[in-house]
Amino acid sequence: MGNINTFNFLFTDDRSVGLYDVSVGDIYHSKFGALTEAWEKFILPINFEKNFINKKELKVLDICYGIGYNTKALLKKLFQTDFNGQVKIDAIEYNNNLVLLSPFIIDGFQNSIPEISYVLCKNLINNIYQNKDTLTNLILNNYKFFAPFYKSLIKKYKYWGYSYNIEKQNNLFLHNIYYHCISKRFKSYQNAFKNKKYVLNPYFMDARKAIKLIDSCYDLIFLDAFTPTKLPTLWTLDFFKELYLISKDDSILVTYSNSAAVRHAMIDAGYYVGKIFDKMNRPSGTIASKNIKFIKNQLNDFDLGLIETNAGIYFRDINLCSTPEEIFYEYNLRKKSLNLESSSHYIKSNKNKRETVQ
């Protein structure tokens, strides 16, 4: 597990704030845009209007919530469509500071759909209260990355405690945000905001622990862990087997990873697996489901061949508690003993089969 307090804030190209993790040595968000990435890699591929619009209840698992772009992008989709059901989002993230900062960070939604911050604050208010000193310090030390309205509000919130009890203080905080949203509200979102129930339930812990506590099944799973080769923990066959158990029959799991090993692990866990392409027709992730009808671009012969090479060897974590070092160590031993064809050799000799566009 990486050290959970070693992140730096930065602006990405679409002006939404992203993060870089110093201890893992990996970015949290694409430099092209944190918000754009969430929309293109997690929301467009699920084809919400076709697959989920008529659900009475939508159950979502956001694994590696971070500062919440995937959840926020989904909320945007819900506000934009005629979806009338209830929404329950379980958000797993072992760094609670990130989750609690998520409503306040400059994300590209504060001006266009301020209700999203309100929905998050409403659900996180008790945790925000308990951590208000830490949050205030983080915000003050990274001032330019937070939305102006929230910066002033959270400063006041810290000191209101002298004249209000906790409940009154929390209500006042939410009340201010609510009226801020109303004053900015786009007419088209009015009903979506008023009539729907959005429940966000945070799990501040290692995702491997959290999924053991979960006793429900999901329609939609977002998996947004750090790159497998940097942090293999949430890309193992054993973790995908757990996800399979909590996936509904008509559900979709979506991730940004194109890794052959990740796809292989998903297949061996029982999923049908397909590719995702961005609007330029470049591979931009992977989609998995128990139901083949959700897989638009199935893996072709080239992809299936690739997962049989050394690039397709997946990580293992049988008891779901190994350290990254233990996972890499076991992987390297197995890779050596399997002695499979190298992926570069395979790619060279199967050039003609390769199709990046379908």
Ligand X SMILES: C[S@@+](CC[C@H](N)C(=O)[O-])C[C@H]1O[C@@H](n2cnc3c(N)ncnc32)[C@H](O)[C@@H]1O
Minimum CB separation of residue 131 from ligand X in Å reads: 16
Nearer to ligand X, 88 or 208 (CB): 208
* Candidate residues 225, 261, 269, 311; the one interacting with ligand X per rule CB under 6 A: 225
What angle in degrees, to the nearest 10, is found between the helix axes of 260-269 and 237-245?
40
Asked if residue 207 binds ligand X (CB under 6 A), the reply is yes
Site string for ligand X, 74-103 (x = CB under 6 A): ------------------xxxx--x-----
Q: Smallest gap, in angstroms, from Cβ of residue 308 to ligand X? A: 28
- Smallest distance, Å, CB 290 to ligand X? 23
Determine which residue in the list 85, 172, 206, 248 makes contact with ligand X, applying CB under 6 A: 206
Q: Which two tokens stand for residue 346?
A: 């395979």
Question: What is the rounded CA–CA span in Å between residue 58 and residue 87?
Answer: 5
Exposure class string for 165-188: b at 16+ Cβ within 10 A, else e: eeeebbebbeebbbebbeeeeeee
Q: Which residues contact 42 (CB under 8 A, 6 or more apart)?
A: 70, 73, 74, 222, 224, 254, 256
The minimum distance between CB 45 and ligand X, in angstroms, equals: 15
Among residue numbers 226 through 285, which ones bind ligand X (CB under 6 A)? 226, 231, 233-234
Contact yes or no for 23/10 (Cβ under 8 A): no
Q: Which amino acid is at 158?
A: K
SS3 248: strand
CB 357 to ligand X: min, Å: 27
# of chain residues touching ligand X (CB under 6 A): 21
CB of 26 to ligand X, least distance (A): 7
Give the binding range for ligand X (CB under 6 A) out of 151-159, 174-182, 193-201, 222-230: 222-230
Rounded Cα distance, 295 and 286, in Å: 10
Q: Is 40 near ligand X (CB under 6 A)?
A: no
Angle at 351 between CA 349 and CA 354, to 5 degrees: 130
Q: Is 322 in the site for ligand X (CB under 6 A)?
A: no
Contacting residues toward ligand X, per CB under 6 A:
28, 64-70, 92-95, 98, 206-207, 224-226, 231, 233-234
